[in-house]
């Protein structure tokens, strides 16, 4: 396997006399961090009060724009103006959150929050968080920030990654690369431990709003991602909401208002964190107007509430192991604040049969790994350099004639990656085509997700199958897809950077992966039928056109026999039996061979009409002259 040094396509990094400043940013659902590596020391930058984590909360109201801990103070008094967990909404559709009681949406079609300062999109909220991190870091560094590596969940799709980039651009932060969070954690662990022998590593990353599982092959300076899985809509927020719902049930509060919802969420989060250390805790619910001043919650009660969510993470782990062709790994690393929950740690240990590692702070390890990569990408190449081989989560391809999917890049292919494949036209005289880019694991277009469509025009009118169109898929180091189509004869070109309108719902991703396994036999049969029908339809169409143009070359009996075989093929096609369709196609093909030969003779005679024999002999002599 060829190892690729991470860099923007076409870019080169030079060694400078002075060190360039790169930072790593963990843009989290619950908390965000920024870290810097100066070649010797790796540190997470703290605020003036000594806090490393910046709560991913932004307030928009009469006090202006406030970010972080100060913004959290408005959560109960002004919940509509205080936006939290915006990361899980990046690049996603409004419809996914219209029924969410914890989200107050602005009027209109797009996904935005309704605040006193106007509607605010998840990109704007994330930009405010990134800007606050930049303002924190600049006074502590010796110069201007040359760029940042920003981490994203491995299962963020193209739209979610694009939204993250937009947030950074809005904050004035130059993005060196978007790095998958589990991979960043592996960078931190691998470089710190200087592992010399190749080993298999599972990174279980459960944050506030997202879950990732990545399997990597690791040794000093090399991290190859073998497979990824996860759920970009599952995390500690779901834990909090489950416990909050339980508390509301205990105090019989059936229709809480927005203020009460924020209060009970804060109480649930505090109780969840306390239960990591103690077996039971009393929750003061007096602020909810409850008759009882306290609800007692035990760790076993919390474990029961969290069990369905934890099982969803384990199901993703098992599927990812299967994707990588592995039964076990050598080490398991825990990342994300939600992994502090005892039930999570116990479930992970049982799933993998290993006691998970957590020697580095699970909240900070992602930012630390990102900082190491940023130091390399800005041109500081002294010491260890990590080579990262990330993968794409779902297969990419395009629609071909008959509604079939032709995969260009398979899922779990390492990135950056480029693949090209040659296609042709399906009909005579076709001068253009629509390229439908699809994503998924099924064989039929209707069972996959369409990412984008674009047109290629300017194809010379030729018989079906004569044109040569090369389609190239490129996925860069950030997982952004670019598709180009070029007609080889004329050079006509069309291309597109795939930017879907919104992110792929994680339930859809899971369903697509499961369906790829469950319906494999059915899909393969459908593909065989589709391919057989395409060949049969092309032969029938060609013969019908030939009979119309040169039917006089056949006798009446020959025409009848050929039409009989054509009718037989049409009848077989209705039965959807691929082997029978192919057999009938071969019968018709053999039956039409004599007709095709006569048509060829007529074409040659027409081409030679009026050409003197001497001219032909002269041309032949020239061809044979050395």
Q: Active-site residues: which are they?
A: 26, 87, 181, 205
Instruction: Report yes or no: 126 and 88 within 8 Å, Cβ to Cβ.
Output: no
Return the residue matching tokens 């081409």. 607
Q: Count CA within 13 A, CB hemisphere, residue 122.
A: 29
Alpha-carbon distance of 566 to 589, in angstroms, equals: 10
Alpha-carbon distance of 403 to 413, in angstroms, equals: 24
Provide the sign of the torsion angle of the four alpha carbons 504, 509, 515, 517, taken in this order: positive
Alpha-carbon distance of 76 to 90, in angstroms, equals: 24
Angle between helices 236-250 and 258-274 (to 10 degrees): 110
Conformational region of residue 10, where left means phi above 0, alpha means psi within -120 to 50, and beta covers everything else: left
Give me 542's structure tokens: 């060609």
SS3 letters across 176-199: EEEEEHHHHHHHHHHHHHCCCCCE
Helix (H) or strand (E) holding 493: strand 493-497
Q: Is the peptide bond before 178 cis (omega within 30 degrees of 0)?
A: no
3-state secondary structure of 267: helix
- DSSP assigned state of 355: P
Q: Which among 222, 135, 207, 216 is positioned nearest to 171, based on CA atoms?
A: 135
Instruction: Report yes or no: 532 and 582 within 8 Å, Cβ to Cβ.
Output: yes
Alpha-carbon distance of 143 to 129, in angstroms, equals: 21
Alpha-carbon distance of 18 to 36, in angstroms, equals: 16
């Amino acid at each position: 396997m060829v190892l690729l040094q991470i860099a923007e396509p076409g870019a080169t990094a030079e060694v400078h006399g002075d060190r360039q400043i790169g930072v790593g940013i963990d843009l989290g659902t619950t908390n965000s961090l920024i870290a810097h590596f100066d070649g010797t020391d790796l540190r997470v930058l703290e605020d003036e009060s000594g806090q490393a984590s910046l709560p991913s909360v932004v307030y928009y109201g009469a006090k202006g724009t406030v970010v972080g801990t100060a913004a959290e103070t408005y959560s109960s008094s002004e919940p509509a103006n205080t936006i939290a967990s915006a990361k899980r909404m990046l690049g996603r559709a409004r419809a996914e959150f219209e029924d969410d009681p914890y989200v107050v949406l602005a009027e209109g079609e797009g996904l935005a929050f309704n605040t006193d300062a106007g509607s605010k999109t998840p990109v704007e909220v994330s930009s405010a968080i990134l800007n606050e991190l930049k303002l924190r870091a600049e006074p502590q560094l010796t110069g201007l920030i040359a760029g940042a590596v920003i981490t994203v969940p491995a299962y963020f799709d193209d739209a979610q990654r694009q939204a993250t980039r937009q947030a950074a651009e809005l904050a004035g932060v130059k993005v060196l690369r978007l790095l998958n969070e589990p991979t960043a954690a592996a960078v931190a662990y691998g470089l710190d431990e200087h592992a010399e022998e190749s080993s298999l590593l599972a990174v279980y990353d459960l944050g506030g709003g997202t879950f990732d599982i990545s399997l990597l092959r690791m040794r000093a300076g090399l991290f190859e991602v073998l497979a990824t899985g996860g759920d970009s809509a599952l995390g500690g927020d779901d834990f909090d909401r489950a416990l909050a719902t339980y508390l509301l049930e205990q105090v019989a509060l059936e229709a809480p208002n927005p203020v009460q919802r924020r209060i009970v969420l804060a109480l649930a989060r505090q109780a969840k964190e306390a239960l990591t250390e103690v077996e039971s805790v009393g929750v003061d619910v007096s602020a909810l107007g409850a008759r009882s001043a306290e609800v007692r919650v035990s760790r076993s009660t919390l474990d029961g509430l969290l069990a369905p969510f934890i099982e969803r993470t384990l199901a993703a782990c098992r599927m990812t192991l299967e994707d990588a062709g592995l039964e076990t790994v050598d080490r398991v690393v825990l990342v994300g604040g939600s992994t502090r929950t005892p039930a999570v740690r116990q479930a992970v240990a049982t799933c993998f049969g290993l006691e998970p590692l957590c020697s580095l702070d699970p909240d900070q390890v992602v930012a630390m790994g990102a900082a190491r990569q940023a130091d390399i990408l800005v041109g500081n190449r002294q010491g260890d350099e990590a080579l990262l081989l990330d993968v794409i989560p779902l297969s990419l391809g395009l629609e071909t004639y008959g509604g079939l999917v032709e995969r260009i890049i398979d899922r779990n292919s390492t990135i950056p990656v480029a693949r090209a494949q040659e296609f042709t036209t399906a009909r005579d005289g076709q001068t253009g085509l629509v390229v439908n880019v699809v994503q998924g694991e099924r064989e039929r277009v209707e069972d996959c997700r369409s990412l984008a469509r674009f047109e290629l025009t300017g194809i010379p009118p030729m018989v079906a199958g004569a044109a040569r169109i090369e389609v190239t898929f490129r996925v860069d180091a950030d997982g952004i897809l670019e598709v180009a189509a070029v007609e080889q004869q004329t050079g006509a070109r069309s291309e597109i950077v795939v930017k879907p309108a919104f992110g792929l719902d994680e339930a859809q991703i899971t369903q697509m992966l499961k369906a790829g396994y469950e319906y494999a036999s059915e899909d393969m049969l459908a593909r065989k039928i589709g391919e057989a029908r395409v060949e049969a339809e092309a032969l029938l169409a060609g013969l019908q056109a030939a009979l119309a143009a040169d039917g006089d070359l056949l006798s009446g009996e020959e025409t009848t026999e050929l039409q009989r075989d054509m009718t037989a093929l049409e009848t077989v096609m209705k039965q959807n039996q691929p082997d029978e369709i192919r057999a009938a196609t071969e019968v018709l093909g053999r039956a039409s061979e004599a007709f095709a030969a006569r048509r060829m003779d007529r074409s040659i005679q027409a081409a030679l009409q009026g050409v003197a024999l001497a001219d032909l002999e002269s041309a032949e002599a020239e061809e044979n002259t050395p």
